[in-house]
Structure 1
Amino acid sequence: MRARELAADLHAEVADAPIISPHGHVDPRLLADDIPFRDPAELFLIRDHYVTRLLHASGVSLGDLGLDRGRAVDPREAWRILAAHWHRFAGTASGYWLTDELTTLFGVDEELSPETSDRIYDRVATALAEPGFRPRALFDRFRIEVLATTDDPLDDLAPHAQLAADPSFSGRVLPTFRPDAYLDPEASGFAERVERLLAATGQPATLAGYLEALRARRAYFIEHGAVSADHGVVEPFTTDLDAGTAEELFRSALAGTADAAASRVFRGHMLFQMARMSVSDGLVMTVHPGVHRNHHRPTFERFGPDTGHDIPVATEYTKNLQPLLNAFGTAPGFHLVLFAVDETVSSREVAPLAGFYPSVYIGAPWWFLDAPDAIQRWRSAVTETAGFYRSSGFIDDTRAFLSIPARHDTARRSDAAFLARLVVEGRVSLPTARRVIRDLVDTIPREVFKL
């Protein structure tokens, strides 16, 4: 009972604190144009692959949910499908988030079911037509102070510039440099992307020109407020090649003749180069590895990426990052945030790396692990080795705009419970616990992401 009371007390310290979201996938045009949400199905289903993937696993066609390009679906019918399968979300993080959104934002006080489906749909649809449910109004209501997006290196960042120049918008919406498709010879359209990159920056088709083009685009992002560069690699392998070998690999990659082994080496060299650039230009380097993207080819071909069929794989950091960390691990001002979907790597590698290298920070649980029990496991796995202050602060990593406050509140409650246990066990004093819980939602993400 004492731990529960302490947890509630600690949570109250940060329950209303502003949200700092330094990594996510909300479309900046949503806020720049203040586009109203179309309907409840678009809001709760189409934008949230946590939801669509579990429905698909239950035998529902993604096309019937509205994900099929070129096929119109009645949003009320899609909502009825969610209602019919609502019981399947019991115990899941997405079920918790959806319940929180319906209750907190829309005042829904009954369980979603086939019997209540239309009634709840109408309630949500009516609210979405009100000015208070436009994206900018919700941004203010959610107390979001910083929201980072994820952007293609050749994006003109016009929505970010529009928001930054708008005196009626007080928040910070920051772009994030995401160059994966321009660094991987095995990525679809790699050569065409690199050609466009070189043309946009006026650089020659040489390795030196390619590197300079990437530097130029990073500088453009920094001019528009970017604080980080994100790397969604499968394997965080790094290597530093001599100039001749790197040039040869670059030419073969452009020509489409690089085999799998050569492509891996080139990716490793470019991840190393991205670290070198972060040391130079100050962008925080975040690494999100260990996900097999688009695991089900037929789904990818019909519905495209980010539709729920990405599957985690094992991750190894210690050996893969050794070349990078030997070169830059103690470089002043370099920040490297390491995330993992493979839970085993947190205590075995990430926490020990962050417990030695001043540049390394432990990324928060993400994707399949941003849930109450997983957050508790993660805290237990990393804290005894590296403490709280070598972690990144919470990362919501979401496209589902309305779920942002629920996700951050989940992390705050989980951290409050973890700290309360430490206080009860006499391992942390209550004044220290109060400081830590406040720093986890404010000071720590500001410092790690140079905000």
Structure 2
Amino acid sequence: MATQFLKEDFLLQSSLAQRLYQDYAVNLPVIDYHSHLPPGEVLEDRNFENISAIWLHGDHYKWRAMRVLGIEEKYITGAATDRDKFQKWAEAVPHTLRNPLFHWTHMELKNPFGIQELLNGSNAQRIYDRTQEQLAEPGFSTQSLLTHFNVEMVGTTDDPIDDLAAHIALGKTSSFNTKILPSFRPDKSLQLDGGDVYREYIQKLSAVAQINIDDIDSLLLALESRIDFFHAVGGRLSDHGLSWIPLQGNTGLEEINRVFKGVLNGNDQEVTPVLKDGFGFYVLSHLARKYYKLGWVQQFHIGALRNNNHRLLTTLGPDTGFDSIGDFQHATALTQFLDNLERTDELPKTILYNLNPSDSAVFASMTGNFQGEGFRGKIQYGSAWWFLDQLDGMKQQIDTLSNIGLISCFVGMLTDSRSFLSYSRHEYFRRLICDMFANDIQRGVMPNDLEWVGKMVSNICYYNAKEYFNL
């Protein structure tokens, strides 16, 4: 097996692509405006005890691949040692050819560890030991890694009930330059059919907001108070992970409020799908108007079919690798929701992400309906997400946006990751877009003006996001 794989020209198939990347992309800071990095680990400046702890824990991409190979669950989410889990992952890696995991694995070994040999079962223990030694060094702590990858801003994903203590403390740390900003994720407040779990959550929200939630108005007041708290801490983004945007329907507010009050009192009998949608539409619309007043950006990650394997959901819990792409219909609900806000001129900056590739043109074309005066790309067709953040998916997103909207206004890539090593995804994206643009120049469909094209590359990789998020 070859011992070296990633060269400096990786994904850059021409000297022109290499020049675009080296002169206009590689050295730009990273704005990672949507991630799942734990802010507490940034605050404590954690050094991970081994590569499994920083690389395998919580990574459902790797877990799913290992399950395809029939690897026992004890080596994935179970009680096996971290060393043994890494051994099993290393044995799996040669089988991931043509999956982005093969690229990401070796990109992350090369940077920051400096390891350029291909990972496999034979060299796993040596690489485990070498990386364990490096991870104990100061230069491999969480803050040092973010500095190493030139990360200017990280947008974490935070529940309304979070105290944001780590964000507050990090905001007072003058020696660390990366901004760690919270993003408001109110999904749990919308789960009207969640039974006792939902009622327990509303009680927690009520307590942290110091507002007695006994009807829909008090729910909205509590959520607004938490938005104000997030804003005071530096939050300027919200995020919503939804299977679909809820339809308004014909259910009146009085009926929605009556059923919501019944749920709070233990009565779940009247929560129909239509009523839950009406409730979600009303709450989301109210929150969006609050975002608009504060100048926030709202994000919608739409289209996941979650928790498909109920047997393993019961034993392992959610977010362990059993979600997939849904085949929901989105266009009608999207336009209804966005137009409802536009009618009163209260539509905030919005980023729409689709999970099903068949929805790409629908989402990209929808953004063009609601752009605003004085904004560049107010409504964004977001980067390739989750199952689509691979070369084909990113290329499709770039091509779809180019054909239907303006790629020049795109705010670029994000990690959407729980790993401090995932910044290779920004490098992956930057290499790809430089190669695509260089190929267009060579085919004669883009002007051979390196300064002009290079400036667009720089904007997509960094400057558009810096302007869009007011950084």
Q: 1:351-375 CA deviation, whole Å, 9 max, x = no partner?
A: 2122231142111001011111211
Tell me the secondary structure at the aligned position of residue 458 of structure 2: helix
The Cα shift of 1:4 comes to 1.9
Shifted more, 332-341 versus 157-166: the winner is 332-341
Distance change in 2, residues 1:187/1:15 (3 Å) = farther
The equivalent of 2:237 in structure 1 is 228
Change in Cα spacing, 1:202 to 1:29, as seen in structure 2 (3 Å) is closer
For the residues of structure 1 that align with 2:359 and 2:467, how far apart are their CA atoms?
Answer: 24
User: CA offsets, 1:400-443, max 9 Å, x none?
Assistant: 11122x10011111111221222223333323311110001222
Separation in 2, partners of 1:9, 1:252: 63
Is 2:149 aligned against 1:130?
no
Compare 30-39 and 19-28 and name the one that shifted more. 30-39
Q: 1:152 to 1:332 in 2, by over 3 A?
A: closer
**1:159 partner letter:** A
1:325 aligned to 313, 317, 338, which one?
Answer: 338
Following the alignment from structure 1 to structure 2, what is the Cα–Cα distance between the partners of residues 157 and 336? 24
- Within 5 A, what are the aligned runs for 1:68-87? 68=78, 71=79, 73-87=80-94
Question: Structure 2 residue aligned with 1:160, among 155, 167, 189?
Answer: 167
**Counterpart for residue 179 of structure 1:** 186
| More deviation, 133-142/54-63 | 54-63
Task: Confirm or deny: 8 A CA contact 1:238 1:271 kept in the other structure.
Answer: no
- Aligned match of 2:203: 195
- Equivalent pairs counted in the alignment come to 445
**Change in 2 beyond 3 A, CA 1:199/1:54:** same
Q: Which amino acid aligns with 1:209?
A: S
Aligned 1:192-271 pairs, distance under 5 A: 192-204=200-212, 205-239=214-248, 242-254=252-264, 255=266, 256-257=268-269, 258-271=271-284
Matched, 1:427 2:445: yes
CA distance in 1, matches of 2:409, 2:310: 38
Closer, same or farther: CA 249–436 of 1 in aligned 2, 3 Å: farther
What amino acid is aligned across from residue 257 of structure 2 in structure 1? Answer: E
The one-letter code of the counterpart of 1:356 is N
TM-score when normalising by structure 2: 0.90
Larger CA deviation: 282-291 vs 258-267: 258-267
Q: 5 Å matches for 1:45-444?
A: 45-65=56-76, 67-68=77-78, 71=79, 73-187=80-194, 189-204=197-212, 205-239=214-248, 242-254=252-264, 255=266, 256-257=268-269, 258-329=271-342, 331=345, 334-347=348-361, 349-358=362-371, 359-404=378-423, 406-429=424-447, 430=449, 431-444=451-464
CA-atom RMSD in angstroms: 2.0
Report if the CA contact (8 A) 1:315-1:340 is conserved: no
**Residue 226 of structure 1: CA displacement?**
0.8
State the Cα distance separating 1:141 from its structure 2 match: 0.6
Q: Give the whole-Å Cα distance in 2 for the aligned partners of 1:269 and 1:424.
A: 51
Q: Distance in 2 between matches of 1:286 and 1:239?
A: 19
Give the AA of the match of 2:360. Answer: S
Structure 1 residue runs of 4 or more that deviate by more than 4 Å after TM superposition: none
Distance 1:385 1:253 in 2: 44
Partner letter of residue 64 of structure 2?
Answer: R
Q: 1:42 aligns with which of 53, 61, 66?
A: 53
The answer to whether the 8 A contact 1:275-1:324 is kept is no
Q: Distance in 1 between matches of 2:445 and 2:288?
A: 37
SS of alignment partner, residue 337 of structure 1: strand
The amino acid across from 2:73 in the alignment is L
Identity %: 26
1:25 aligns with 2:36: yes
Q: Point out the more displaced range, 302-311 or 267-276.
A: 267-276
In 2, Cα distance between the equivalents of 1:63 and 1:277? Answer: 46
| d(CA) in 1 for partners of 2:202, 2:101 | 37
Once residues 318 and 277 of structure 1 are traced to their aligned partners in structure 2, the CA distance between those partners, rounded to angstroms, is 24
Does the 8 Å CA contact 1:423/1:433 hold for their aligned counterparts?
A: no
Aligned residues of 2:256 and 2:275 also touching (Cα < 8 A): no
Question: Which SS does the other structure have where 2:152 is aligned?
Answer: strand
Deviation at 1:343, TM superposition (A): 1.0
Q: Which amino acid aligns with 2:464?
A: I
- Which ranges in structure 2 are unaligned for 5 or more consecutive residues? 1-8, 372-377
- Three-state SS of the structure 2 residue aligned to 1:344 is helix
- Match in the other structure for 1:445: 465
8 A Cα contact 1:249 1:266, kept in partner: no
* Mapped partners of 1:426, 1:275: distance in 2: 43
Quote the Cα distance in structure 2 between the aligned partners of 1:326 and 1:116. 57
Q: Secondary structure, in 3 states, of the residue corresponding to 1:364?
A: coil
Q: What secondary structure is seen at the aligned counterpart in 2 of 1:147? A: strand
* Paired residues of 2:288 and 2:347 also in contact (CA < 8 A): no
User: How has the CA–CA distance of structure 1 residues 94 and 238 changed in structure 2, closer, same or farther, with 3 Å as cutoff?
Assistant: same
Question: Quick check: 2:285–2:341 contact (8 Å CA) kept in 1?
Answer: no
What displacement does 1:186 show? 2.6
Q: Distance in 2 between matches of 1:401 and 1:47?
A: 12
C-alpha displacement of 1:179: 0.6
Matched, 1:11 2:30: no
Q: 1:61 to 1:252 in 2, by over 3 A?
A: farther
Read off the aligned partner of 2:391 and give its amino acid letter.
Answer: P
Q: What is the rounded CA distance, in whole Å, between the counterparts of 2:263 and 2:302 in structure 1?
A: 22
Distance 1:32 1:3 in 2: 40
Distance apart, 1:333 and its partner CA: 6.9
Residue 442 of structure 1 aligns to a residue whose secondary structure is helix
Whether contact under 8 Å (2:220, 2:283) holds in the other structure is: no
Residues 31/23 of structure 1: CA separation in 2 closer, same or farther (3 Å cut): same
Alpha-carbon shift at residue 3 of structure 1 (Å): 6.8
